[in-house]
Amino acid sequence: MTRRTDTAKTTPVKAEDREKRAPVGDLALRGLGDLQGIVAHLAERRRLARVKTEADSYLELAGIARRFHGGKAVYFEKVKGRAFPVFTGLYWNRGLLAEVFAVPEGRLPFLVADAVAQWQQSPLHPVGVADAPSQEVVEKRVDLGRLPIPQAGLEEGGPYLTSSVVIAKDPDTGVRNASIMRFMVTGRDRLTCLMDIGRHLRDYYERAEARGEPLQVTINNGVNPAVHFAAVVPGSAAPIDTDELGIAGHLLGAPLELVPGRTVDVEGVASAQFILEAEILPHVREPEGPAAEVTGYYAERADRWVARVTGVTRREDPIWHTIIPGQEVYNAVGLVAEASIFRLVSRQIPGVRAVYLSYGGCGFYHAVVQLEKTSEGLQRNAILATFGAFPPLKQVTVVDEDVDIYDPRDVEWAIATRLRPDRDVILIPEARGHELNPVTDGGIGCKIGLDATAPPPVPQFQRLAFKQVNVADYEIEE
């Protein structure tokens, strides 16, 4: 393997600067640079369920996985008619991610935010390598039917790739982009996909299509969560002229390694499980959907973009990675959104402690903001700033610092005992929201702000508290 030399090494660095420059994460240094390491780590910590009975990738696998939803991650050892195991659930419980990143759960969004900030200041760029685990085996013939790609939802149009990271290069500048989108399998070497408007990948594709050219991509399955989070960092934090894959290095503790594609002029992730090399065809549209969406509904079937798979490479013993619709998607995207909302809002409002996009709000529509109110009225400004920071939001609830924003019961308690509906509910009609939310009119809808903070300190809002004890110190029979 070849590594680019770090020229900064030749300049003496003060100890405190070195401390500042140390990457915020260290996954690669702890043997968690790939899915094999992560699966083993979760198993060791008793956070993994192993399904030993053979499961069908058509509906059955997701049905089993769903029974563990929000709990342990799930590893399917045997998939009917397929040679490879399947892993899911890594993102559906923040406790699992906290175990992997070795930080408390509440620290997770800040870890991602810190990695993004550090990357913006002094990026650890990805490095090229010639040999990669993800190319240990080059499939002689492309046949997506051999892969254990699940169909999860009963009414979905086919098997879906839900968690694969797509890498492409800007057709004009060559700058790399990483993103996640859904792909439905429609043939031995054919996929249909959704390219959201406003995304960098869509921009790349439209410029290639205007020249009558396909857009070459690698579709990387089974990547490290560091790579996953890098790919979902929004364009506001990683503009179109930057390569957001660099962010992964700040979570891994080492530059991300990339390997050249065999049939496309785009790199793939060296530590991935599988790489599908493909080209998104110009001027071709074919049916895609229905698809399970973040809203908990099916996205409609329609003619959408088509990718032709030109090559498949993999590890010798790869694990197919999938995300089951639901809480997994909320964390996979929500954590990064929370981090960017927190950064933007705390720039304007002093005292913001944390932001959470709740599961009940699809990890996308409902934000809870924890605020240490230094002066009355700031909580209302925080509501406005939060809506401004993340337009898909429909509801923002602001609570005091004594409320656990990760516990929906505690948030409801604050609403029950501190919010006066005639005074503390703010409605913003006809505002731009998220068009996938079916209660909007094509994205236009009403937003609601809930001020559930206590009025200025008066005794009746002092919360009941108990002595902290260690239960292990007491002899108790249950």
Q: Cβ 244 to Mn ion, closest distance in Å?
A: 5
Q: Which of 200, 228, 366, 434 binds Mn ion (CB under 5 A)?
A: 200
Packed helices 327-348 and 378-389: angle between N→C axes, nearest 10 degrees: 130
Contacts of 340 (CB under 8 A, 6+ apart): 113, 116, 233, 234, 236, 237, 389, 390
Interface stretch with Mn ion, choices 185-193, 200-208, 218-226, 462-470 (CB under 5 A): 200-208
Is residue 221 involved in binding Mn ion (CB under 5 A)? no
Q: Cβ 132 to Mn ion, closest distance in Å?
A: 22
Q: Cβ 238 to Mn ion, closest distance in Å?
A: 5
Interface stretch with Mn ion, choices 163-171, 196-204, 375-383, 425-433 (CB under 5 A): 196-204
Q: Cβ 211 to Mn ion, closest distance in Å?
A: 20
Nearer CB in complex with Mn ion: 235/260: 235
- CB burial of residue 194 (10 Å; 0-12, 13-18, 19+): middle
Nearer CB in complex with Mn ion: 200/315: 200
Q: Cβ 15 to Mn ion, closest distance in Å?
A: 35
Contact indicator for 182, 161 with CB cutoff of 8 Å: yes
Nearer CB in complex with Mn ion: 123/187: 123
- Residue ranges with strand state E in 33-110: 48-51, 73-76, 86-88
Quickly list DSSP for 305-360.
Answer: EEEEEEEEEE-SS--EE---TTHHHHHHHHHHHHHHHHHHHHHHSTTEEEEEE-GG
Nearer CB in complex with Mn ion: 118/177: 177
Interface stretch with Mn ion, choices 175-183, 219-227, 305-313, 368-376 (CB under 5 A): 175-183
Contacts of 459 (CB under 8 A, 6+ apart): none
Nearer CB in complex with Mn ion: 145/239: 239
Query: Alpha helices of 75-198 — where are they, by DSSP H?
Result: 94-101, 108-121
Q: Cβ 174 to Mn ion, closest distance in Å?
A: 13
Q: State which of positions 45-74 bind Mn ion (CB under 5 A).
A: none
Q: Cβ 169 to Mn ion, closest distance in Å?
A: 11
* DSSP label of 477: -
Nearer CB in complex with Mn ion: 343/447: 343
Nearer CB in complex with Mn ion: 198/459: 198
CA 239/CA 259 separation, integer angstroms: 23
Q: Which of 57, 177, 220, 346 binds Mn ion (CB under 5 A)?
A: 177
Residue type, 201: L
Nearer CB in complex with Mn ion: 93/177: 177
Q: Cβ 261 to Mn ion, closest distance in Å?
A: 18
CA 367/CA 212 separation, integer angstroms: 43
Interface stretch with Mn ion, choices 103-111, 112-120, 183-191, 195-203 (CB under 5 A): 195-203
CA 140/CA 304 separation, integer angstroms: 29
Half-sphere exposure (Cβ direction) of 434: Cα atoms closer than 13 Å = 20
Nearer CB in complex with Mn ion: 268/290: 268
CA 257/CA 213 separation, integer angstroms: 28
- CB burial of residue 287 (10 Å; 0-12, 13-18, 19+): middle
Nearer CB in complex with Mn ion: 151/177: 177
Could you tell me the sign of the dihedral formed by the alpha carbons of 325, 326, 332, 337, in that order?
A: positive
Q: Cβ 250 to Mn ion, closest distance in Å?
A: 16
Nearer CB in complex with Mn ion: 170/424: 170
Interface stretch with Mn ion, choices 194-202, 307-315, 421-429, 450-458 (CB under 5 A): 194-202
Residue nearest Mn ion (C-beta atom): 200
Which of 34, 454, 16 has its CA nearest to residue 257?
A: 34
Interface stretch with Mn ion, choices 88-96, 100-108, 193-201, 412-420 (CB under 5 A): 193-201
Which of 258, 254, 270, 241 has its CA nearest to residue 120?
A: 241
Q: Cβ 340 to Mn ion, closest distance in Å?
A: 14
How many residues of this chain interact with Mn ion, rule: CB under 5 A?
2
Q: Cβ 277 to Mn ion, closest distance in Å?
A: 20
CA 325/CA 119 separation, integer angstroms: 30
Binding site for Mn ion (CB under 5 A): 177, 200
